Structure 1
Amino acid sequence: MNRKCMKKRILLTGVTGFLGSHLAKELLAAGNEVVALKRKSSSLHRVESIISEIDFFDIEGLDFDQFFRDCGKIDTIIHTATCYGRNNESVTEIFAANTEFPLRLLDAGSRAGVEAFLNTDTILDKYLNLYALSKNQLLQWGKFFSIHEKMRFANIRLEHFYGPDDDPTKFSAYVINSCLGNVPELRLTKGEQRRDFIYIDDVVSAYMVLLEKMDSFNSVFVEFDVGSGRSVSIREFVETVHRITASKTYLDFGALPYREGEVMHSEADITKLAALGWRCQYDLETGLKKVIEQERTKL
């Protein structure tokens, strides 16, 4: 990756998650200071190697204005924390995590003179589920703050990213772990949906490019798709994992119906990102081989 030393003070949310932990390591490697917000209950296993290099703050009971006064000048907020609703969270819990919490950061951060906010968004239609709706509501607030020149706002529409040590409930991780474990059967849809899969290192490098370029954008609100720029069918993805792992798992395509409102085609338009000098370094085969190699060591 490009590790140009930018030396900014970054407030990062979601640092204990899959994306946030990878991003924290690269931010530090590039010479930045990282301040992180987390829940008291969050596991730090993904950031064990860099714990001493990060200033952690727990969000429970946090006075956001006082936090910004106490923690020193923050140049940029990078928001990666999210609640997908996979653990039966209520409507209010999803709203609190995906809309209210980052909105409080936007509000207090703007008063504290934070220059930019990089937001992790979804490509899903806002009415598909509660997760997508709550993310879209934050986007509207981000546009408002940027229009009124309170803060620069970059919205990052992220495609399906994958990599080692991912959340096991995510589709890509579930398929990889199932094939590696040779589960007897994997029940799937027909797999005709097309998705844009992007390896985690390429995602992180995109964030680093955007962080570097934020001050040079003519508009106070910018939006970028982040993906490989190439979609493949779900069936092709699963069969590629199955082949690389030499799995004995039976792939039962068509055993499950498509979800209501299923997105049948998703592919990032990376033209704007490429114009900034970013390039996707991993094709699907290369990325999957890297993940599978690392996940095998845990068996």
Structure 2
Amino acid sequence: MNKKTILLTGATGFLGSHLLEALIKEEYTVVVLKRSSSNNWRIKNLEGRYISYDIDLYPIEKAFQDQKVDCVIHTACNYGRNGESIWQVVDSNLMFGLRILDFCLKFDVNTFINTDTLLQKHINVYSLSKKQFVEWLEKKSDKIKVVNLRLEHMYGPNDDTTKFVPWIISQFQQGVEEIKLTEGEQERDFIYIDDVVSAYLTVLNKDSKLQMFNEFDVGSGQLNTVKSFLEELKDRYQTNFGKIETKLAFGSIPYREGEMMKVEVNIKKLLNLGWSPMINLEQGITNIIKQEK
């Protein structure tokens, strides 16, 4: 049986690049939307194995005209961490997604797999814009099958250094005297990137068994405090690189306004589809430390 043609957004990012590699390995035909200015370092080893369209040089519609797209996997997003305006974050997280959705409807794409967050919508502009897009997806799910994956805190190799875990590691590498942190009692579900990717592949493979609108929480099923995670990270870093003097200064800064102290993650629906996480916290942290080494 012929494999599906997948249109992937955000392929040069952390999640997207890991997904691209996995989809190619599974022999899907992958169509990538990116900008000509995108930094392709994460997917350079995959050149020639996917179809690419630079959306600043060609209309997005051309990708749908040239290829019979069966499914869109939408991972592109803007976290708003680099001083972007509200408009820029909303344009990336809401308006760009709506443009893709419009073409899905026009060209009879069967399934839209969306990347959402478990953060509540009131936390920041990023979470609000992501939740607004999900509302549009649900509204249009009478015309296209929607799978909304709500991700918890994913981590792994090749992540952006502005993200929490790689930023902490960069501070260790630079030998900073201390890292100012909250008390670290927030409970989070840290999930390794390979397990996140396998969740996407699972819903893709089980597409025919899904309803028109589906939501799945994606996590390991285990909650850990931020403090315990960082202490484990520091211990394993020192095991591989020798003792470091950097102090984890817990309690030196206040929690942000509206901080979620405990995230609610229910992975039962994914487990029922046949998916299960394979990388525990200790192994995941070991993997990223080994990459640094």
CA-CA distance at 1:61 after TM superposition: 5.8
Equivalent position of 1:206 in the other structure: 199
Q: Say whether 1:164 aligns with 2:157.
A: yes
Task: Report the 3-state secondary structure (helix = DSSP H, G, I; strand = E; otherwise coil) of the residue aligned with 1:222.
Answer: strand
Q: Say whether 1:229 aligns with 2:221.
A: yes
In structure 1, the gaps of 5 or more residues are none
Q: Say whether 1:90 aligns with 2:85.
A: yes
CA-CA distance at 1:62 after TM superposition: 4.3
Q: 1:206 to 1:40 in 2, by over 3 A?
A: same
Does the 8 Å contact 1:192/1:234 carry over to 2? Answer: yes
Partner deviation per Cα, 1:150-201 (whole Å, 9 max, x = no partner) = 2100000000000011010111111222234432211111101111100000
Does the 8 Å contact 2:31/2:63 carry over to 1? Answer: no
Q: Say whether 1:120 aligns with 2:121.
A: no
Task: Report the 3-state secondary structure (helix = DSSP H, G, I; strand = E; otherwise coil) of the residue aligned with 1:37.
Answer: strand
Does the 8 Å contact 2:181/2:253 carry over to 1? Answer: yes
Q: 1:284 to 1:6 in 2, by over 3 A?
A: farther
Does the 8 Å contact 2:34/2:55 carry over to 1? Answer: yes
Partner deviation per Cα, 1:35-65 (whole Å, 9 max, x = no partner) = 0001221101000111111111112264333
Equivalents in 2 of 1:76, 1:84: separation in Å? 24
In structure 2, the gaps of 5 or more residues are 239-243
Task: Report the 3-state secondary structure (helix = DSSP H, G, I; strand = E; otherwise coil) of the residue aligned with 1:150.
Answer: coil
Equivalents in 1 of 2:57, 2:258: separation in Å? 38
Equivalents in 1 of 2:84, 2:218: separation in Å? 27
Task: Report the 3-state secondary structure (helix = DSSP H, G, I; strand = E; otherwise coil) of the residue aligned with 1:161.
Answer: strand
5, 9, 12: which one pairs with 2:8? Answer: 12
Q: Say whether 1:134 aligns with 2:129.
A: yes
134, 150, 162: which one pairs with 2:143? Answer: 150
Q: Say whether 1:57 aligns with 2:57.
A: no
Does the 8 Å contact 1:230/1:267 carry over to 2? Answer: no
Equivalent position of 1:79 in the other structure: 74
Equivalent position of 1:291 in the other structure: 288
CA-CA distance at 1:272 after TM superposition: 0.5
Equivalents in 1 of 2:266, 2:2: separation in Å? 27
1:229 corresponds to which letter in structure 2?
Answer: G
Task: Report the 3-state secondary structure (helix = DSSP H, G, I; strand = E; otherwise coil) of the residue aligned with 1:45.
Answer: coil
1:286 corresponds to which letter in structure 2?
Answer: Q
232, 239, 250: which one pairs with 2:231? Answer: 239
1:283 corresponds to which letter in structure 2?
Answer: N
Does the 8 Å contact 2:36/2:57 carry over to 1? Answer: no
Equivalents in 1 of 2:265, 2:174: separation in Å? 31
Does the 8 Å contact 1:196/1:268 carry over to 2? Answer: yes
Equivalents in 1 of 2:17, 2:264: separation in Å? 25
TM-score, structure 2 normalization: 0.95
Equivalents in 2 of 1:285, 1:41: separation in Å? 37
Task: Report the 3-state secondary structure (helix = DSSP H, G, I; strand = E; otherwise coil) of the residue aligned with 1:241.
Answer: helix
Task: Report the 3-state secondary structure (helix = DSSP H, G, I; strand = E; otherwise coil) of the residue aligned with 2:47.
Answer: helix
Equivalents in 2 of 1:201, 1:222: separation in Å? 22
Q: Number of residues paired by the alignment?
A: 288
Over the aligned positions, Cα root-mean-square deviation in angstroms equals 1.3
Q: Percent identity?
A: 46
Does the 8 Å contact 1:194/1:231 carry over to 2? Answer: yes
Equivalents in 2 of 1:61, 1:103: separation in Å? 19
Partner deviation per Cα, 1:200-251 (whole Å, 9 max, x = no partner) = 000000100011111211x200000001011100100110011111132111
